[in-house]
Amino acid sequence: MSQSEIITLAIIFQLSGFRTFKHFYVFYVKTHMKNDFPATVSYNRFTELMQENLMAMTLFLKTCCLGDCSGISFIDSTPVRVRKNKRIHNHKVFKGIATTGRSTMGWFHGFKLHIIINDKGEILNFTITQANVDDREPLKKERFLDKIYGKLFADKGYIGKDLMQMLFVDGVHLITSVRNNMKNSLMTMSDKILLRKRSVIETVNDELKNICQIEHSRHRSFGNFLVNIIAGLIAYSFLPKNQVSNFKP
């Protein structure tokens, strides 16, 4: 099979509605898509080929599937669980790689996906960290923000005076909601409205998990986990988007 065929099938699966790739490949692709993919290989061989093409898939995502910064951006992280909490100690696939962290929904074992989106709902950049990494850490890495400028809206978890000053020097104005024990800061009406619109990124995370299937606990290798994440992010780029606001920075 060609590289393009392998990547195409990996992406189609994320939007197919099938919950397991084996059922999708064996019972759908090899049965109903013979004319489109006449040179299919065995299921085990195909899973190997997907991992071998992870780099090409990532390059396609980075060069063709990310949006452009408009000066209004939103950032958030979402848990990517690789095991149910009751089975953490029996999980060997991610031993020494995955960690246990805490989110607003409680404890989880796995990783965090950090994404930045623009006001159209398009993903601008992403990074994957272990579950116990502070949400603010990726913002300290220049490559994560190399194409971001203007206003960046975030939740209370991103509050940090030093971080805000560091980003401001680089042309990024980090705007967060305030904690109950903090003094209210002066903010324009447009910024207040956009801050309330920050929940749009939670909708993006919801689509990534429930439509593009980036999260499940059936991985057999770390490489398979990465393929699933990258293919899911590519699949998301094909979904319809909604404009968050008509405000101009």
Entry pTM: 0.90
Distance of CA 173 to the CA centre of its chain: 22
Check: CB of residue 174 under 8 Å from CB of residue 222: no
**Radius of gyration in angstroms for the set of CA atoms belonging to the chain, rounded to a whole number:** 20
Q: pLDDT tens for residues 6-63? A: 999 999 999 998 989 999 999 999 999 999 999 999 999 999 999 999 999 999 999 9
Helix axes 54-64, 222-236, angle to 10 degrees: 30
Structural tokens at position 191? 């910024």
Structural tokens at position 26? 């064996």
Cα–Cα distances in Å, from 87 out to 84, 110, 130, 209, 217? 6, 12, 18, 21, 10
Residues composing the chain: 249
CA separation for the pair 88, 110 (Å, rounded) = 9
Check: CB of residue 154 under 8 Å from CB of residue 201: no
Specify the pLDDT at position 180: 53
Specify the pLDDT at position 247: 54
Specify the pLDDT at position 87: 62
CA separation for the pair 18, 28 (Å, rounded) = 10
For the chain, the domains span 3-52, 72-213
Structural tokens at position 49? 């080929």
Among the four given CATH numbers 1.25.40, 3.10.560, 3.30.420, 2.60.120, the one describing domain 72-213? 3.30.420
Specify the pLDDT at position 159: 87
Nearby residues of 5 by Cβ (< 8 Å), 6 or more positions away: 37, 39
User: Which contiguous run of DSSP H or E holds residue 63?
Assistant: helix 54-64
Q: Which residues of the chain have pLDDT under 70?
A: 85-91, 179-186, 243-249
